[in-house]
Structure formats: C-alpha cells, structure tokens
Amino acid sequence: MIVHVVRRAASASLVSRAIVATDDERIAEAVAQHGGEAILTSGSARSGSDRVAEAAAGIDAAIIVNVQGDEPLIDPGTIDAAIESLGTAAADISTTSEPITSPKDVFNPHVVKVVTDSQGMALYFSRSPIPHIRTEDGEPLSEMLQRDPGLLAHYRKHSGLYCYRRETLMQLAKMETSPLERLEGLEQLRALEGGYRIRVVRVDHRSIGVDTEQDYRRVKKILEETIHDQVYLCDGRRGFEPG
C-alpha cells in the first residue's frame, strides 16, 4: 500500500522528491525494494506530521507535504492543488477537501469532516458530523439526509494530506499535544488551537483512506482493477495490517 502512495505522490508535478518517513524497518525495506527512498525515524512520534518533521530536519525544502501512508488512491492533482494554494494564500498550512456523497460517511468517525470560512480557511475539523443541520421538528439528522440527499453538499471530507511551510512544520513539532487534538485524535487541531491558518482547497477527486479491513479490501479491489503506475514526504507509520 505504501508503494502505491509513494508512486502517486511522486507523480504530482510540483513534487521534487518523494520520501517515506517510517519507524518500521519492514516498511523501509519494502520501499527500497521498489526503488523508493525511506528515512527511518524514532518510534516516539505523536502524529504523522511529527514523524515527517523529524525526517525533514535534514532536508532543504521551503515546503514539506505530508501525504498519509493509508491513502493509496490519492490523486496527484490533489497534492498539486494543495501545494499551489500554499504558494498564493496567506496561510501557514494547506490541505484539501472532497465531496461526501453518502450519508454513512457523515457519521463515519474515520471520515474526517471540515468546515471553512468564506475565504476557504479552516474553522474546524471533526470526526463528528459538522455542520449539524437543525430541524424544527427534531427529525434525526440521519433520516433527514436519507430523505434529502441534496443536503450532503453541506459536508466535505478532509483529504489525507497536509502541505506545510517548513518553519510552520518545525514549530508545530515542538508544541505540546493540544486539548482538542487529544480529544478528537486529529493532529491538525494542534495547528488551529495554536493560531495557525489552514487553507482548505476544494477538489472533486475522492480518495479512500484505509482504516479498516473493509477499506483495505475495497481499495485492493480498485487497485487490482485499475492499476496506475504513477509517484514526497509520506507518513509511513505502521497502520492496519491485513491478516
């Protein structure tokens, strides 16, 4: 899976170097066997971006992108969109959001939702349904979304990548884990709580993060049917391992 992520990330036109940051020698070996580059990090990283910061300490680059290692279907154009946005927006970090087309995803805690202001700056990220759509008669949100699928347009999924200015990444890695980050298990909330501005670019391509065995089998089937020989700093920590 990590090799697919590396290839897609390296295929982005604005990416000059693709590296896997991992604390697992098996992952590093697998990457090397497929001609990729990996940097072994300590096992103490609190998040993927902390691991990327450790690996990036010796790399001379103005912009560092963290593509999460469980995103084998991420589109290279999505990565380019985030990088390009950071070059033009008054933001410290950029990322992307994708359409949500299934009511189930609104309630799936593995699908992180994001809301932004009128300028596309992140207001909040959550594993819970945000925004909550209030009804006068108290109809459950799940039933309302089933009855009126058009309401799904109010929800956006956060893609599994972050594009950092180098100094921002290094500063965040020195900060304590924030209260909201700890509660939600979302590293980007450390940045929001610390006052950093996150630009969220809207993209149409839909990725699938591999968080469960069901996700794994779904993605495996897609890759087997349509293998794209396509190829950044990528968080290669150990995640779900199929039996």
The string of DSSP codes covering the chain is -HHHHHHHHHTSTT----EEEES-HHHHHHHHHTT-EEEE--S--SSHHHHHHHHHTT---SEEEEEETT-TT--HHHHHHHHHHHHHSS-SEEEEEEE---HHHHH-TTS-EEEE-TTSBEEEEESS-SS----TT---HHHHHHH-GGGGGG-EEEPSEEEEEHHHHHHHHHSPPPHHHHHHT-THHHHHHTT--EEEEE---------SHHHHHHHHHHHHHS------EEE--------
Residues of the chain with pLDDT under 50: 228-232, 237-243
The predicted pLDDT at position 53 comes to 95
The predicted pLDDT at position 218 comes to 75
Domains, the chain: 2-235 (3.90.550.10)
The predicted pLDDT at position 228 comes to 46
The predicted pLDDT at position 235 comes to 55
The predicted pLDDT at position 4 comes to 82
